[in-house]
Amino acid sequence: MKILCVLYDDPKDGMPKNYPLSELPELKKYPDGMTLPTPKAIDFTPGELLGCVSGELGLRKFLEERGHTLVITSDKDGDNSVAAKEIVDADVVISQPFWPFYLTRELIEKARNLKLAITAGIGSDHVDLQAAMDNKVDVVEVTYCNSISVSEHIVMMILSMVRDYHNQHAIAKSGGWNIADAVQRSYDVEGMHIGTVAAGRIGLSALRKMKPFETHLHYFDRHRLPESIEKELDLTFHESVESMVAVCDVVTINCPLHPETENMFDKELIGKMKKGAYLINTARGKICNREAIADALKSGQLSGYAGDVWFPQPAPNDHVWRTMPNHGMTPHTSGTSLSAQARYAAGTREILECFFDDVPIRAQYLIVQNGELAGAGAHSYSKGTATSGSEEAERYKK
Ligand code: NDP
């Protein structure tokens, strides 16, 4: 079989010769008891770069020993890209949300051999899921592999935005000491109302992590959490997102991108937020309206916006989120720490082993199967597509 794997570029100075830590902490289970990926073997060293082209997700030896062909590229956008050409006869495609290979309907229809699209990570919105269903291409992701990584990033972003860390760090780096400049936008998180849109794996973990800061916690979700968890965290459930954002100082977005959530934070919803609130989005860029976010930061309706997700990715160099005031954006990194890479590389291998050996893939990993939303996909996604406009990614210049 032919496996096409689209990965991000290597570090500019080449692959690292050594890493800050010599080993990763050992984890056996995720917080809800689900086991970490269980491939029969791995051919990589956990803690090393795996998500870039030379890292190969640690898959080459395994695939070539089984007689498969592995094609790896970072060239993914536009009709003339290597990925667009190679997908035509590929059986399996692997892509990471950080550097998403947008599998549009057009590409899926061209890929006559395609049976399986693997997201090495979580969030399969870069695949036109409706086209995958229509063309009987299964879609899977490595559920839970980086949910905790993202919730750590959320905590970092809430604290850094509310306390105004970026500004203070810039002052220190530039040799300055004007304390008044450093604190004129700096607050304590203690006592604030923090709300999550979606209390799934990431959203719930973010709530749990914010609890010790003596905050008031809120959530909005399509399904309600067990009463025991609501009690444990003293959580306020909201029937609508409007009701929640009206009372929160900080809102964090943690739902998948699908037709129901696309453009959820538009001018109207942002206008219903508490004046001067902070918005943290590590879910997907398209859940927020690009211009409405920039306008709200300019007007002061939002005090800050931070996240690591953009649309499209890579974001064009002139994307307004790169230059809007009071933002704390990073490139899409939260789910691809070296720790997370080891888990999703192992999860990708587990999925491939199942696929080749005709063993069922864990239901938790399924998004689309046999032409229908399945497993985690049936629970968290809705039918349709959210890939339109992705061709703009071609405008990014390295
Ligand atoms: P989960 O499936 O555990 O949680 C998703 C939650 O979103 C579920 O509770 C689901 O609710 C809820 N949801 C879905 N649609 C809606 C809606 N319309 N309104 C309110 N809630 C909704 O996934 P994770 O928490 O692990 O990940 C969530 C998302 O975070 C991913 O899909 C991905 O987009 C993003 N992500 C980002 C990463 C990064 O690196 N920045 C890395 C990993 C994930 P229910 O099931 O109750 O319907």
Over residues 21-31, the mean pLDDT reads 95
Ligand 1 within 6 A of CB of 6: no
Predicted confidence (pLDDT) at residue 279 exceeds the cutoff of 90: yes
Measured from the CA of 199, which atom of ligand 1 is nearest? 9
The mean pLDDT value of the chain amounts to 97
Of 313, 326, 341, 369, the catalytic one is: 313
**What pLDDT is stored for residue 43 in this prediction?**
98
Number of helices (H), then strands (E), in the chain: 14, 13
Over residues 67-91, the mean pLDDT reads 98
Complete DSSP assignment for 40-60: S---S-TTS--SBTTTGGG-H
**What pLDDT is stored for residue 380 in this prediction?**
87
**pTM metric for this prediction:** 0.97
Measured from the CA of 260, which atom of ligand 1 is nearest? 18
Q: Is 223 one of the catalytic residues?
A: no
Q: Is 184 one of the catalytic residues?
A: no
Distance (angstroms) between ligand 1 centre and the Cα of 145 equals 13
213-217, 307-311, 387-391: the lowest-pLDDT one = 387-391
Alpha helices, DSSP H, located in the chain: 60-65, 82-86, 105-110, 129-134, 147-163, 165-173, 179-183, 201-210, 227-233, 241-245, 267-271, 290-299, 338-357, 375-380
**What pLDDT is stored for residue 383 in this prediction?**
87
Distance (angstroms) between ligand 1 centre and the Cα of 375 equals 14
Radius of gyration of the chain (CA): 21
Ligand 1 within 6 A of CB of 379: yes
Q: What is the pLDDT of residues 286-315, one digit of tens each?
A: 999 999 999 999 999 999 999 999 999 999
Q: What is the pLDDT of residues 149-192, one digit of tens each?
A: 999 999 999 999 999 999 999 999 999 999 999 999 999 999 99
Q: How large a percentage of the chain has pLDDT more than 70?
A: 100
Are 345 and 321 within 8 A, CB to CB?
no
Q: What is the pLDDT of residues 337-371, one digit of tens each?
A: 999 999 999 999 999 999 999 999 999 999 999 99
Distance (angstroms) between ligand 1 centre and the Cα of 376 equals 10
